[in-house]
Amino acid sequence: MRCNGILLLFIFILVFNSSFAEDLPVIHVSKKRPEVKAKMSVFFDSVRYVPLETTDVCLLGLGTMGVNQIGDSLLVWDSDNCFLFDSKTGKFLRKIGHRGDDPESFRMTYGNFYNPYDNLIYFFGDYNSLVCYDLNGEFVGKIKIPMSSNWSSSKCVIPLDSTMFCAFFSNCNGSESKRIILFDKSGRIVKIYPNYHFVKTNQFVYDSNDGLFLSI
């Protein structure tokens, strides 16, 4: 009897699902999708390809992160190195700085920037500092990012002019007191814009995607 009951229940479910499926609307989707072509001429008047010199001294890795044109030169960097090339011929000119742990090295190329107001290139260094080099690749000095620590550090700094910088602090721990800091080349704080959004919890909060700071 138990087996017969299970069999009847199975047949009932099968018939119910079949009748229910017949009442559902069917949407036919074509396998062929319309081909959309984006023409570069819509966005640019002309395009020029510059093959960069590739030798052992200027070899870029797969993690090439960005390109910045500076006058007649191209500043190109990957996760470990930063090189300067001729923008017309692609010829390698020189290496800018180096990654390491000595006093004149930078810690990472992520977030680096060229300051058009003083013609210097800035990288993030150890101990929450900015390491700057000139276009000849020579070390110029360091700038301490104020109010930075291991638990509260800025990963985005932009130049406002030749002497002033703007640093953005994400609210990673939920209790960050400041949001934006304006400071000069000596590391002196000029103005602080506080954070008004706090996360009150007994647990540790970490959100690496908190906030997006854009410069235009």
Q: What does the pLDDT read at residue 152?
A: 67
The residue with tokens 């052992």 is 56
**Stretch 122-143: mean pLDDT:** 93
Residue 122 dihedral angles phi and psi, to the nearest 5° = -115, 140
Q: What does the pLDDT read at residue 151?
A: 62
The per-residue DSSP string of 138-187 comes to -EEEEEE-TT--SSS--SEEEESSSSEEEEE---TTS--SEEEEEEETT-
Residue 205: its H or E element = none
Whether residue 213 is predicted with pLDDT greater than 60 in this model: the reply is no
Per-residue model confidence as pLDDT tens digits over 95-119: 999 999 999 999 988 889 999 999 9
Q: What does the pLDDT read at residue 207?
A: 53
Q: What does the pLDDT read at residue 71?
A: 93
Distances (CA, A) of 62 to 31, 57, 89, 207: 35, 16, 22, 28
Helices (H), the chain: 2-23
What is the three-class DSSP state of 160? coil
The pair of structure tokens assigned to 189 is 């704080």
Give yes or no for a contact between 170 and 153, defined as CB atoms under 8 angstroms apart: no
Question: Which has more pLDDT, 127 or 144?
Answer: 144
Where residue 16 falls among pLDDT bands split at 50, 70, 90? very low
Question: Which has more pLDDT, 170 or 78?
Answer: 78
Residue 103: its H or E element = none
Q: What is the mean pLDDT of the chain?
A: 81
**Stretch 47-76: mean pLDDT:** 88
The percent of residues in the chain predicted with pLDDT above 70, rounded, is 75
Q: What does the pLDDT read at residue 35?
A: 74
Q: What does the pLDDT read at residue 72?
A: 94
Q: What does the pLDDT read at residue 20?
A: 47
Among the listed residues 167, 165, 185, 186, the one whose alpha carbon sits nearest the alpha carbon of residue 176: 167
Per-residue model confidence as pLDDT tens digits over 144-181: 999 877 666 777 899 999 999 999 888 776 777 888 99
**Stretch 56-64: mean pLDDT:** 82
Where residue 12 falls among pLDDT bands split at 50, 70, 90? very low
- 69 vs 73: CA distance, rounded Å: 6
Where residue 186 falls among pLDDT bands split at 50, 70, 90? very high
**Stretch 24-50: mean pLDDT:** 78
Residue 195 dihedral angles phi and psi, to the nearest 5° = -95, 135
The residue with tokens 């990012």 is 145
- 158 vs 35: CA distance, rounded Å: 40
Whether residue 57 is predicted with pLDDT greater than 80 in this model: the reply is yes
Residue 44 dihedral angles phi and psi, to the nearest 5° = -130, 145
